[in-house]
């Protein structure tokens, strides 16, 4: 890994278009903020520790990988923790369990082998399913409770519609720093509402502390009830799918290996959970969101990480009343934009954009320029339909059951089902050859 080249790429990209990198850095806040705030309000995590530790992880991943790799909550663990009112130790046990499992998978090479064994239609199905899940979550959790003028003047359907119209315009004019504009508007609204209520944040320095070793009960409910459900989600969506998505979205930047990303997720949780920080991962949805809003290098997440560390160190828990007032109308539309960006990768399933179809063609000289054209084998109509069906089965089962593992299993079964006639024919041919030789 050439850290000097990555640093040069980060610096050059930020200098060339700083507004886009800053806007992209804010793209994943629609996922990060609601979960972090909810867990902090029920005292499952320390908000200041979460901000500082996730910020440091942002800085390190941006500097090491050179791409806008997000640091976002482990959603399955967060969902169980919120539903069952976890304390800090069971939540830490869940994060430590997933981190330890990923460390073992990465070091032994199991993660690398696993990634190569998964068909591209299943991977794209996981990515599309994750994107649709984000859109559904935004509609059902963030936007469904809004009314035309309620719950407040700063957070209602009118602002949600305005934000969505802005998103439509930003899809046409891609250089518009949409996420940055939306975040600034939302922050101004939140400050005004907090000032009216007399709950503006005050300087409150972070004092780091260790939560202590989780006991047997904490391990049982944390690892078994929350960690087991998170493990396939993290492996598929936060490691395997994010590596393939990085290659699709940023082909000009060297893609990190599955093993490197797996070790990164393991290290983040095996260290930060002891401080009371929220369990985190690298999600494909966050990468899609940050790319959608302009991020093209690690500089974007380094900037975000520096802001998180500064805010966490100097304000910490006093930020909760302010962050609670950030308009759901604006956060919801940001999540929808991320979901649309992630789901759009399925379009290349049967084109040379799919990695299993692409193959390099020798350089051809066109005038004074060299061009490399990626071409792949032609697919028959039946092959296209089969690949499309495998992807749809993966998407449908993932979204229907709200479980990445079920979507993955269904997609693999569908893929193997299509391989069955070939396997049967191969066995028959070998049997006939055996009879003939006898």
The pLDDT tens digits for 94-132 are: 999 999 999 999 999 998 888 788 888 888 888 788 788
Does any domain span residue 372? no
Does any domain span residue 112? yes
Instruction: Find where tokens 């990198």 sit.
Output: 21
Per-residue confidence (pLDDT) for residue 364, from 0 to 100: 41
Does any domain span residue 396? no
Burial level of 33, CB count in 10 A (0-12/13-18/19+)? Answer: middle
Per-residue confidence (pLDDT) for residue 438, from 0 to 100: 56
Is a pLDDT exceeding 50 seen at residue 373? no
Task: Provide the residue count of the chain.
Answer: 438
Percentage above 90 pLDDT, the chain: 39
Q: Which residue has the higher pLDDT, 5 or 236?
A: 5
Using CA atoms, how far apart are residues 279 and 273, in angstroms rounded to an integer? 6
Using CA atoms, how far apart are residues 337 and 263, in angstroms rounded to an integer? 29
The predicted model scores a pTM of 0.78
Does any domain span residue 429? no
Segment among 40-54, 75-89, 276-290, 307-321 with least mean pLDDT: 75-89
Confidence of residue 372 (pLDDT cuts 50, 70, 90): very low
Does any domain span residue 425? no
Per-residue confidence (pLDDT) for residue 382, from 0 to 100: 86
Using CA atoms, how far apart are residues 402 and 133, in angstroms rounded to an integer? 8
Domain around 186: 3-346
Does any domain span residue 392? no
Per-residue confidence (pLDDT) for residue 54, from 0 to 100: 95
Per-residue confidence (pLDDT) for residue 366, from 0 to 100: 37
When divided into structural domains, the chain yields a total of 1
Does any domain span residue 415? no
What DSSP designation does 152 have?
A: B
Per-residue confidence (pLDDT) for residue 97, from 0 to 100: 94
Per-residue confidence (pLDDT) for residue 365, from 0 to 100: 38
* 245 in Cβ contact with 291 (< 8 Å): no
Does any domain span residue 421? no
């Amino acid at each position: 890994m050439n850290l000097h080249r990555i640093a040069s790429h980060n610096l050059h990209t930020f200098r060339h278009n700083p507004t886009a990198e800053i806007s992209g850095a804010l793209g994943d806040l629609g996922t990060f903020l609601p979960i972090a705030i909810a867990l902090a309000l029920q005292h499952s995590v320390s908000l200041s520790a979460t901000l500082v530790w996730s910020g440091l992880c942002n800085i390190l991943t941006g500097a090491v990988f050179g791409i806008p790799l997000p640091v976002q909550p482990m959603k399955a663990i967060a969902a169980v923790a919120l539903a069952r009112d976890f304390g800090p130790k069971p939540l830490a046990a869940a994060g430590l369990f997933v981190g330890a499992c990923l460390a073992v998978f990465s070091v032994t090479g199991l993660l690398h082998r696993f990634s190569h064994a998964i068909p591209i239609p299943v991977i794209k199905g996981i990515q599309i399913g994750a994107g649709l899940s984000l859109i559904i979550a935004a509609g059902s959790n963030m936007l469904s409770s809004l009314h035309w003028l309620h719950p407040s003047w700063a957070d209602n359907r009118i602002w949600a519609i305005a934000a969505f119209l802005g998103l439509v315009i930003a899809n046409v004019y891609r250089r518009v720093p949409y996420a940055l504009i939306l975040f600034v508007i939302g922050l101004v609204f939140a400050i005004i509402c907090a000032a009216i209520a007399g709950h503006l944040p005050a300087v409150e320095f972070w004092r780091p502390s260790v939560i202590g070793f989780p006991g047997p009960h904490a391990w049982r409910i944390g690892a078994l009830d929350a960690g087991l459900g998170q493990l396939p989600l993290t492996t598929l969506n936060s490691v395997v799918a994010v590596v393939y998505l990085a290659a699709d979205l940023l082909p000009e930047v060297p893609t990190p290996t599955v093993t490197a990303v797996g070790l990164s997720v393991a290290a983040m949780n095996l260290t930060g959970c002891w401080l009371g920080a929220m369990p985190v991962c690298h999600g494909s949805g966050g990468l899609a969101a940050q790319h959608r809003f302009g991020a093209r290098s690690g500089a974007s997440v380094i900037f975000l990480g520096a802001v998180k560390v500064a805010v966490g160190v100097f304000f910490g828990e006093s930020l909760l009343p302010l962050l609670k007032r950030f308009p759901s109308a604006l956060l919801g539309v940001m999540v929808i934009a991320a979901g649309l960006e992630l789901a759009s990768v399925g379009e290349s399933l049967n084109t040379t954009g799919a990695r299993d179809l692409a193959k390099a063609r020798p350089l051809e000289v066109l005038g004074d320029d060299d061009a490399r054209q990626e071409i792949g084998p032609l697919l028959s109509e039946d092959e296209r339909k089969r690949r499309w069906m495998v992807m749809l089965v993966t998407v449908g089962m993932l979204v229907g059951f709200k479980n990445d593992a079920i979507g993955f299993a269904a997609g693999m079964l569908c893929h193997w089902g299509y391989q069955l006639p070939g396997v049967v024919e191969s066995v028959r041919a070998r049997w006939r050859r055996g009879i003939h030789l006898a």
